[in-house]
Chains A and B, each alone.
Chain A
Amino acid sequence: MAGFIHNRRLLFFAALCLLICLAALAAPLIAPNDPYKTSLLKAFLPPGAEFPLGTDRLGRCLFSRIIYGARMSVFAALFLVGVIFTFGTAVGVISGYVGGRADSFIMRVTDIFLAFPDLVLAIAVAGFLGGGLTNALIALGCVSWSKYARLARSQVLALKGSAFIEAARLGGNSPLQIIRRHILPNAVGPVVVTAALDIGVMMMGIAGLSFLGLGVSPPVPEWGSMLNEGRMYFHQHPAQVFYPGAAIFLTIIVFNLFGDSLRDWLDPRQRTRAVCEPEPLAKE
């Protein structure tokens, strides 16, 4: 873990991610106004002392709504990624380790899911289940777990035949112990990186579904639905679209760059380099 501290880029983006999460958690402390309080007299106010970013068409504080909206985007995305990461990895590891018919069956199922364009399938599922955040999450989860299953499986297949897994078997490990002690720690790196990069994708997915009216339902503050509400007043009041859009943009960028730095840090080639180098004779 020592490398984590010395990797400034990774540390920087990890800190920014943490900052966004903290801001979302501390929304009631940061937000100057109640995000639900409407007042038609104060509609479309420009930024001022009372409303730092102005107000929307119902006179609600834009800044407060964006801060509260971060809760939806950030935590829903983190939760979703956590669930599909766990589920997809478990399925992939089992599929890869067990092999045979179970493996073929599971992989055909993932093929079916992978064959659909993500957002189209998500819209179909969300449309079928109806609106609401839970259904949006189910829809996004349905379309994205298969990627993790595939990735984890390929990692397991690469490891399964290696001598250290056979050595572990000779060392008295049961199949479950082999998976837990030797396969998971060696297979999980690339999957974690995918998960980190997926946080941004999920945020976009949630915002996208909400924008289409299939995600979070009004009046709950959420960036995607704020964008959709502001869309109608775009010409007169561009700020209505600009601020939620900028919030989505910046948050996704930060989480993606975090995932990117994480990948650079965990790069498997850096890890195994020592193994490939010819060993000097003198050491023996």
Chain B
Amino acid sequence: MECLEVAKTFKKSGRLIKAVDNVSLSIAPGESLGLVGGSGCGKSTLARVMARLTRMDSGRVVLDGRDISRLNGGELRECYRTLQMVFQDPFASFDPRQTIGRGLLEVLSNFNVGSSGQRKDLVRQALESVGLNVEFGGRLPGDLSGGQCQRAAIARALLVRPRLLICDEATSALDAIVQAQILNLLRKLRDEMGLSVLFISHDLALVRAFCSRIAVMHDGRIVESGPAEKVIAQPEHPHTRLLLSSLITLGESV
């Protein structure tokens, strides 16, 4: 997956805001790329552009050598066999009136995965693979905890066996313990399925624990990128240093 020279500008009270300013990045098969940056730096917008949820002003998004930035309708839906996304707010990403199981079944039938008889089994397997009991399939999202709901969202995203998963702050709405559980789950599934992951977060520590490569974003631009160890050990850009120095460790007084 590559995105090349992507730009996106928003208009806010007459002022133009460059949310994404000619950003290019690529993710190799099986690679986990961490995209870090403060709030409003454009990382979520970039993710949404890459998933074709937001229109871009200019640039291209290439998936498996295919330019998907102009696809529409059925062709775009086919892309979502390869590319899936997990959102920040697990509750908001499920239809409040639809049971988890029906939401998952819907994805399978939309993509014609399996026969109608097999689909229930596939949903059960998917729920089990994220550590959820089958009975969760019959529940409404509001009846789940945040962590359970995010597990279900991961199960839904991985139903079609995509090769790229975009996690847009997928753990930031969860408390520390659940966050670690979800991160371990993602790591396990990534290694099992050979997934590429674009892991977006504002938390450098989290990204370091999960990703082999890090890109730091600031004011709509990628200011630094490289292997995770190198970016953390020898930060080049002042903003990366700022992010690093802002990490609070135990025993330190702020």
Stretch at the interface among B26-34, B57-65, B142-150, B194-202: B142-150
Q: Is the CB of B92 within 8 A of A163?
A: yes
Stretch at the interface among A64-72, A140-148, A172-180: A172-180
Q: Is the CB of B80 within 8 A of A284?
A: no
Against B, the Cβ 8 Å flags (1 = close, 0 = not) of A160-174 are 001110111111111
Q: Is the CB of B175 within 8 A of A171?
A: no
Q: Does B51 contact A (CB under 8 A)?
A: yes
**In the complex, A177→B73 CA distance in Å?**
12
Residues on B with C-beta less than 8 A from A177 are: 110
Q: Does A115 contact B (CB under 8 A)?
A: no
Q: Is the CB of A170 within 8 A of B80?
A: yes
**In the complex, A182→B96 CA distance in Å?**
9
A167 CB, min distance to chain B CBs, angstroms:
5
**In the complex, A186→B92 CA distance in Å?**
13
Q: Is the CB of B142 within 8 A of A275?
A: yes
**In the complex, A181→B87 CA distance in Å?**
20
Residues on A with C-beta less than 8 A from B84 are: 170
Q: Is the CB of B87 within 8 A of A167?
A: yes
Query: Which chain B residues numbered 138 to 181 have a C-beta less than 8 Å away from chain A?
Result: 140-143, 145-148, 153, 156-157, 160, 175, 177-178, 181
Q: Does A281 contact B (CB under 8 A)?
A: yes
| Max count, chain B CB within 10 A of own CB: residue among A162, A170, A173, A274 | A170
Residues on A with C-beta less than 8 A from B80 are: 169-172
Q: Does A283 contact B (CB under 8 A)?
A: yes
Q: Is the CB of B91 within 8 A of A281?
A: no
Q: Contacts A170-B84, A283-B148 given: A272-B96 contact, CB under 8 Å?
A: yes
**In the complex, A284→B130 CA distance in Å?**
13
Q: Does B189 contact A (CB under 8 A)?
A: no
Q: Does B5 contact A (CB under 8 A)?
A: no
Against A, the Cβ 8 Å flags (1 = close, 0 = not) of B99-117 are 0000100110011000000
State the total of A-B contacts with C-beta under 8 angstroms.
87
Q: Does B237 contact A (CB under 8 A)?
A: no
Residues on A with C-beta less than 8 A from B95 are: 164, 168, 181-182, 185-186
**In the complex, A182→B145 CA distance in Å?**
22
Q: Contacts A186-B96, A281-B175 given: A167-B142 contact, CB under 8 Å?
A: no
Chain A minimum-CB-distance residue to B160: A172
Q: Which residue in A170, A173, A185, A275 is a CB contact (below 8 Å) of B141? A: A275
Chain A minimum-CB-distance residue to B141: A275
Chain A minimum-CB-distance residue to B53: A166
Query: Which chain A residues numbered 186 to 225 have a C-beta less than 8 Å away from chain B?
Result: 186
Q: Is the CB of B93 within 8 A of A280?
A: no
| Max count, chain B CB within 10 A of own CB: residue among A172, A177, A274 | A172
Residues on B with C-beta less than 8 A from A275 are: 91, 96, 141-142
Q: How many residues of chain A are within 8 Å of chain B by beta carbon?
A: 26
Q: Does B89 contact A (CB under 8 A)?
A: yes
Q: Which residue in B74, B94, B96, B178 is a CB contact (below 8 Å) of A167? A: B94
Q: Is the CB of B87 within 8 A of A163?
A: yes
Q: Does B241 contact A (CB under 8 A)?
A: no
Query: Which chain A residues numbered 244 to 282 have a C-beta less than 8 Å away from chain B?
Result: 271-272, 274-275, 279-281
Chain A minimum-CB-distance residue to B81: A172
Residues on A with C-beta less than 8 A from B147 are: 279, 283-284
Q: Which residue in B53, B106, B140, B157 is a CB contact (below 8 Å) of A181? A: B106
Residues on B with C-beta less than 8 A from A181 are: 95, 98, 106
Residues on B with C-beta less than 8 A from A173 are: 106, 110
Q: Does B70 contact A (CB under 8 A)?
A: no
**In the complex, A260→B65 CA distance in Å?**
58
Residues on A with C-beta less than 8 A from B77 are: 172, 174
A114 CB, min distance to chain B CBs, angstroms:
28
Chain A minimum-CB-distance residue to B109: A172
B175 CB, min distance to chain A CBs, angstroms:
7
Q: Does B97 contact A (CB under 8 A)?
A: yes
**In the complex, A105→B110 CA distance in Å?**
33
Residues on B with C-beta less than 8 A from A174 are: 73-74, 77
What is A's interface to B at a CB cutoff of 8 Å? 162-164, 166-174, 177, 181-182, 185-186, 271-272, 274-275, 279-281, 283-284
Known contacts A170-B51, A284-B147, A284-B177; 11 further A-B pairs (Cβ under 8 A): A164-B92, A170-B84, A170-B157, A171-B107, A172-B77, A172-B80, A186-B96, A186-B97, A279-B145, A279-B146, A280-B145
Q: Which 10 A-B pairs have the closest CB atoms?
A: A172-B110, A274-B142, A279-B145, A163-B93, A171-B107, A283-B145, A284-B147, A163-B92, A163-B87, A275-B142
25 CB contacts below 8 A, A to B, read A162-B92, A163-B88, A163-B89, A166-B87, A170-B51, A170-B53, A171-B110, A171-B156, A172-B80, A172-B107, A172-B160, A174-B74, A185-B98, A186-B96, A186-B97, A271-B96, A272-B96, A274-B142, A274-B143, A279-B145, A280-B145, A281-B177, A283-B147, A284-B145, A284-B146
